[in-house]
Structure 1
């Protein structure tokens, strides 16, 4: 059987204590809370002050008569949260999870000759530590096939052996028989190479008992295989055809795979086909900025593309299973994946977070994640949980072993990890801790892990190697293939001797310490990589990464007050623009030779920064500032060269040390003068690469830059950057004009907004204010024809861009 997009229209309504709202047409996937008015309520801080709700989606369709002899399956990839699916008033399925797929057989519940009414209910309310969105967030599929068929995700492809000469490809196919009598079929399996050529094929006869399933194993040799790797993500397609001898009943399945093998040990680290790989990782939440929690192929492809261009080669899905669309993009683009099951086990972190149903549902949720992942070459590790409080207890360690063992049985070809936070385990109080290590922080007063970690500040490393943390983490780490360490880099060197066979990954780390962390990854083979918090900024946990200063009132909470919306901790902002921290990271990774210039905002001058482990300085790559000439500004220069020369208007301001000995950075005070400021890398005493910032000057115009001009497909997206620039294309970062958009033709505005960290604006409105001179609009195709997007703002000429929607 093959997934097909659910083709029938939907409508939805909100259910409140006063009754349901009027039903409205809607295109799914759909985020039901993206346009909800935010509320200044401390109970909603974690979600960015976005309230939840309860929603009902309805769809009506006719069942063709030939479906009587077919098998019909509805699949909802993710409905947030606690979905209930009914057909014609009969409840068919429920699931507590909002991130696991819900697969619902419709056989026996369908009406023929009369309309069928499909209903999906969902709700979300204070059930996560970040913004989740709500409703039918991921695609809906309908699969129709014969009653003797290969079920969805019923083909598993592994590569037991691979080298340059040949690869052994094993295909295990499940064949299910829903008939009351045995069935005989022929199964033909073909492996198709990256260029469309058949590289291996096999056929066999299959007898399936009545109302049972069988597994068919086929082992095929592929000569001189083009193997998958991050640098060369070559993909193969495995096509399975199940047919009767006469060929009058056929079922087809198709999976995309990569030929590659994984190796792992503490002496040689992680290898793909024998080639060592250090993970340059990004933790990434599921929301996608101005379109909220909606998952669409083009959005996921764009996000993975930008992350890879920024130097990352791995993504950790924080903290829920990754969407199929993003996994597909990672396969195509060569991005490695650590896929994560959950943020909670049995102890609650939020009032309605699913911990109460974990014991009953974890095996099903885990199985569905692995079934989704196991053919994706990008997936190299499964994380069974993030910062689980009970992991340091005996019962928690036992549960960790059960989860890890079950994961290995479902997929023995990949590794099992978990994100373990030593500070969180200490908060549990199960093991006494030297009070000096806490620096006066009281465990009795701790309610939130981020606040506790900020209190500890520079004591985190000493706490990490303490006897208490060693004792609390030993058994949980013993259950894993890879010890995932959240903010525990002090253990990297310590564990090389204390636990000589332990393989470590920095599953979550402070972005401000990437130079130190990357040096540890490069020098310690048992440390296979680093995953920064976070690669892409996200909604919720508002102000976690905001700059902090010593003149702030004592006791300022780790999360920011209303109307803050964004975390502010991402290398890349929610519109997909790289922030200065991203370029610094690229230099540290050794992937960028050019220096990088960023300027701190004038209003921060003279304020002493406070230690804030998730916070970068409040700077941006601009030399356009609404200040008088001579106003002192602080300029940050990042470079791997031993020193850089800074020039203002062509006049040298001197040379400054940079490179690894100076943490790849220099801070230079400059009296502002419009024009140009430059940084030149000095290597062996000779000027080399350079960076330059220029002031936006002269007439300004509103401009729209689409990332494509064709919208191919019914859910195709175009991402339009909207900005104010001068005639030379230099952005006016001091522009904060309100822009109004109008979409004409067969398309709609999916989302519109900026990277402003605090705002009262909605991403579902057709008007939004620029932030640092920039905003992003996302347009979603809704048919075939010409599309025109028009932008206007007071004081500027109206500007339009043309797109073409093909509908296919």
Structure 2
């Protein structure tokens, strides 16, 4: 089918509210533009955004082809699609697409599409969902005989020799011509029945792997219709003898859980944002992501295919027990067969997808009904795809409580929390998390009854998903020698221990930290903030993001990310981080998910003589720390890749030197104090941008040497010519401004702007703050 991008020509407004339609280009997150209020029932879950229902309209001419199909990749949620007043599509799930055949509803000349998305029914999620048509839309056209969406499926049968099976499901009968190319090189040709399959040998095949993500293109021609499908040649195996393998080679999943939003862009899905996110996570040492806790976008899968990032695609956060009042629990049992079918159809040809997960912290698995539901859903997966293992993330402590009749989740609690949403973020309850969160959660997994509450569910899975269950690994591996275990959700500080366990035991196949990148909603969950940036520790509407990421909401890796990279044995040079010297002795906001509030800086002006708590992350035998060429001390790295030093702050240079076992220097790194001058710098991440595409611009308050002044706070106003400012903000989880204005504060001296390139030859950026003005330009490629 011929694909036509259908993202322009749209307008929207709030449903049943008297207001003007606004013209928009999709994808578009309506919720990000709404007011945040302490009276919003979404509360801490969605960042206090108010929720509304929306109506989208688009008028267009009927294409000349006989068959016209539209695909909405994501509308949140309970979406309805009308064509010329006729209802042609509906889906309650906000993360799976709607594919609607418009052929019979269209007329000659002008036609109208009307889409309704529901968002007034909050709370409907435990995190920020966004609202509206937030993923791309495509129109597909064809004549009578054609290859429909998902009509080509490609499966690797073997890698030595490399043989793939191409299965076709066309509208119409006849022969289809198939060709396989690698770039411009033709590597194989074949023919097959339009509703049949064929095996194709690929000579001298280049295999897909995380290290070498080689991709081929399969072109299918049938009765004048043509379809191109990218694929990779690779085989996934997972067993007790060899562990998790790609193409026969063991791979440890160094994973990061991520939510679907794109930071300052909200839930809107853009290729450039997804690609930037994956590249940042890869630089931090991650080789896998978990789409917590919903199906990810096609755009993200395309990026992961190209870059070699493995994906665990997840289905749902709730089954039939509500976690929030209006979540998907009211729909799953009726819709799971179609949902899972569409999930697998979406993922099937993507080599990056290596695991399916059917749920997250679903305490239903502590009872027979829930286990039977898991088996039924897994059966649907296996009927469509036998090439990937299936799992489900189980919070073992939650299951134990549910098994004993004290479930953490229930419909009653969900209803009560919806009424009492203002009390969900009290400082008292969050202080308990801060004091006992990690330890309490770990210990919950080894309480009496945990085994009984999980063994039936784990026994049904290809891979047992343990959320925060690291203390059970040794016990359960001994008791259940045929069980394969995945750390489906874990604490950052457990990374070193997890790596050692996974290295020893092939049946512990990976670890997914919560989280890889910060996200909107679940506000303050992982934040260590001082009163300077967060005037209240009660999670009211000023709080916007979780703060849980190893990478902050602007895409900057935090020291925790370097700790994890060191734990993986991948950190080439030491990283030095310092707890804010200006806040010594002060209490920060509570969290059980934060590892350290240290900042990669020695620019603590005005703190001369104060105690500085220094952390160094490194791979080697030992590390020595020097302040202005005077040795502070030495620490062994044999047991831990994170070591600590106490030193009195003094301006100058702080240097860490790493040595091997023979006392030979491996590497070193220095951080520096700043001079008195302050200037604003505007630093685009790329020199060029395609018209209509996004570019990301870092803004920093620095000294004359370009060193960030982390203690400097100023307001920055941004003006853009030749493009559109689509996101502006800083990384602090407490953020009254939001991300849709033209002015922002700074956080530890930094902020980020996101700009969509226009149709001219350049983008001009002008930023103004108290310390001065800075400008920059980005060349636009048409």
Superposition TM-score, scaled by structure 1 size: 0.90
Q: Kindly indicate whether the alpha-carbon contact (under 8 Å) linking 2:679 and 2:771 is maintained by their aligned counterparts in 1.
A: no
Q: Deviations over 1:445-477 (max 9, x none)?
A: 999999789756535444424441111111111
Q: How many residues get paired?
A: 755
Is structure 2 residue 548 aligned with structure 1 residue 569?
A: yes
2:250 corresponds to: 276
Conserved in 2, the CA contact under 8 Å of 1:548 and 1:612? no
Preserved contact between residue 595 and residue 690 of structure 1 (Cα < 8 Å)? yes
Instruction: Determine if the alignment matches structure 1 residue 797 to structure 2 residue 770.
Output: no
Q: State the 1:285 CA deviation.
A: 0.5
- SS of 2:305's partner is helix
1:552 counterpart residue number: none
In 1, distance between residues paired with 2:250 and 2:496? 20
Cα 1:80–1:256 change in 2 (3 A) is: same
Q: Which residue of structure 1 aligns with residue 72 of structure 2?
A: 76
Partner of 1:93: 89
Distance 2:729 2:373 in 1: 43
Write the distance in 2 (CA, Å) between the matches of 1:479 and 1:713: 50
Q: Secondary structure at the match of 2:184?
A: coil
Note if 1:27 corresponds to 2:25. Answer: yes
Corresponding residue of 1:626: 605
Q: Distance in 1 between matches of 2:353 and 2:778?
A: 38
- CA change 1:571–1:387 in 2 (3 A) is same
Deviation at 1:722, TM superposition (A): 1.1
Match of 2:3 in 1: 3
- Once residues 674 and 605 of structure 2 are traced to their aligned partners in structure 1, the CA distance between those partners, rounded to angstroms, is 11
How far apart in 1 are the matches of 2:583 and 2:522? 23
CA displacement at 1:31 relative to structure 2: 0.6
Q: Which residue of 2 aligns with 1:719?
A: 696
CA displacement 1:726-775 (0-9 Å, x = unmatched): 23221122222111111212x21111111011011021101111111111
Q: Is the contact between residue 466 and residue 488 of structure 2 (CA under 8 Å) also seen in structure 1?
A: yes
Q: Which moved more, 1:36-45 or 1:574-583?
A: 36-45
Q: Tell me, in whole angstroms, the C-alpha distance in 1 between the residues paired with 2:582 and 2:683.
A: 31
Provide closer, same or farther for how the CA distance between residues 20 and 360 of structure 1 changes in structure 2, counting only shifts above 3 A.
farther
In the other structure, the counterpart of 1:438 is none
The match for 1:764 is 740
Aligned twin of 1:590: 569
Please give the per-residue CA displacement for 1:471-524, whole angstroms capped at 9, x wherever unaligned.
111111122111011001122111222111111110000112111111111111
Partner of 1:693: 671
* Change in 2 beyond 3 A, CA 1:452/1:621: closer
Q: Does the 8 Å CA contact 1:100/1:365 hold for their aligned counterparts?
A: yes
Deviation (angstroms), 1:665? 2.3
The alpha-carbon deviation at position 784 of structure 1 amounts to 4.6
Q: 2:683 aligns with which of 700, 705, 714?
A: 705
Q: Is the 8 A contact 1:739 1:770 kept in 2?
A: yes
SS at match of 1:149: coil
Matched, 1:679 2:688: no
Q: Is 1:122 aligned to residue 117 of structure 2?
A: yes
CA distance, structure 1, for counterparts of residue 590 and residue 469 of structure 2: 17
Partner of 2:533: none
Report the Cα distance in structure 1 between the residues aligned to 2:61 and 2:126, rounded to whole angstroms.
41
* Residues 605, 673 of structure 2: 8 Å contact kept: no
Aligned 8 A contact 1:190 1:238 in 2: yes
Extract unaligned runs of 5+ from structure 2: 408-419, 531-535
Say if 1:503 and 1:526, in contact at 8 Å, map to a contact too: yes
Go from structure 1 to structure 2 and tell me whether the alpha carbon gap of 1:608 and 1:789 turns closer, same or farther (over 3 Å shift): closer
Aligned to 1:441: none
**Deviation at 1:26?**
0.7
Query: What is the match of residue 169 of structure 1?
Result: 164
**Cα drift, residue 608 of structure 1:** 7.9
- Among 261, 277, 283, which residue is 1:303 paired with? 277
The answer to which of 719-728 and 269-278 deviates more is: 719-728
Q: Does the CA-based 8 Å contact 1:73-1:142 persist in structure 2?
A: yes
Matching residue of 2:138: 141
Structure 1 partner of 2:413: none
Offset of residue 603 of structure 1: 4.4
Mapped contact 1:512–1:613 kept (Cα < 8 A): no
* Unaligned residue ranges in structure 1 (runs of 5+): 178-183, 207-214, 244-249, 434-444, 550-555
Native 8 Å contact 1:546 1:569 kept in 2: yes
1:289 matches 2:263: yes
Partner of 1:579: 558
Deviation at 1:789, TM superposition (A): 1.9
2: CA distance, partners of 1:401 / 1:543: 36
Matched, 1:159 2:156: yes
- Give distance in 1, aligned partners of 2:331 and 2:452: 29
Aligned with residue 713 of structure 2, among 736, 746, 750: 736
Q: Is the 8 A contact 1:724 1:731 kept in 2?
A: yes
Answering whether residue 487 of structure 2 is matched by residue 480 of structure 1, we say no
Contact 1:787 1:805 in 2 (8 A): no
Inter-partner Cα distance in structure 2 for 1:103 and 1:270: 35
Q: CA deviation at 1:259?
A: 0.4
Shift of 1:701: 2.0
494, 505, 510: which one aligns with 1:529: 510
- Pair 1:635-2:632 in alignment: no
| Structure 1 residue 634, shift from structure 2 partner | 1.1
Asked if the contact 1:505–1:528 (Cα under 8 Å) also holds between the matched residues in 2, the reply is yes
Q: In structure 2, which of residues 154, 157, 175 is the aligned counterpart of residue 186 of structure 1? A: 175
Q: Which moves more between the two structures, 452-461 or 225-234?
A: 452-461
Would the aligned equivalents of 2:624 and 2:656 in 1 still touch at CA under 8 Å? Answer: yes
Change in 2 beyond 3 A, CA 1:288/1:499 = same
Q: Indicate the residue corresponding to 1:442 in structure 2.
A: none
- Supply the distance in 2 between the matched residues of 1:326 and 1:776 (Cα, whole angstroms): 22
Q: Is the 8 A contact 2:467 2:488 kept in 1?
A: yes
* Cα pair 2:622 2:638 within 8 Å, conserved: no
Q: CA deviation at 1:101?
A: 0.3
Check the 8 A contact 2:91/2:98 in 1, yes or no. yes
Residue equivalent to 1:219: 199
Contact 1:788–1:803 (8 Å) recurs in 2 = no
Does structure 2 conserve the Cα–Cα contact (< 8 Å) formed by 1:453 and 1:460? no
Contact 1:544 1:560 in 2 (8 A): no
Taking the aligned partners of 1:797 and 1:461, their CA distance within structure 2 comes to 50
Distance 1:763 1:475 in 2: 46
Asked whether the equivalents of residues 7 and 25 of structure 2 are also in contact (C-alpha less than 8 Å), the reply is no
Q: Which residue in the other structure is 1:265 paired with?
A: 239
Q: How large is the RMSD of aligned CA atoms in angstroms?
A: 2.3
Preserved CA contact (<8 Å) 1:77 1:101:
yes
Does the 8 Å contact 2:757/2:780 carry over to 1? no
2:489 matched to which residue of 1?
508
State whether residues 527 and 590 of structure 2, in contact with CA within 8 Å, keep that contact through their aligned partners in structure 1: no
Q: Kindly indicate whether the alpha-carbon contact (under 8 Å) linking 1:45 and 1:541 is maintained by their aligned counterparts in 2.
A: yes
- Cα drift, residue 276 of structure 1: 0.6
C-alpha separation in 1, matches of 2:572 and 2:62: 61
1:381 aligns with 2:355: yes
How far apart, CA to CA, are the structure 2 residues paired with 1:30 and 1:526? 43
TM-score by length of structure 2 reads 0.93
| 2:164 counterpart SS class | strand
Instruction: Give, in whole Å, the separation in 2 of the partners of 1:456 and 1:317.
Output: 23
In the TM superposition, residue 142 of structure 1 has moved relative to its aligned partner by: 0.4
For 1:630 and 1:392, how far apart are their aligned partners in 2? 56
- Structure 1 pair 733/453, CA: closer, same or farther in 2 (3 Å)? closer
Compared CA separation, residues 335 and 7, structure 1 to 2 (3 A):
closer
Over 3 Å counting, the alpha-carbon distance change for 1:504 and 1:36 in structure 2 is same
Question: Tell me, what secondary structure is at the counterpart of 1:428?
Answer: helix
Compared CA separation, residues 645 and 100, structure 1 to 2 (3 A): same
- 569-578 vs 449-458, greater mean Cα deviation: 449-458
Checking the alignment, whether the CA contact within 8 Å between 1:510 and 1:614 is kept in structure 2 is yes
Match of 2:61 in 1: 62
Native 8 Å contact 2:311 2:352 kept in 1: yes
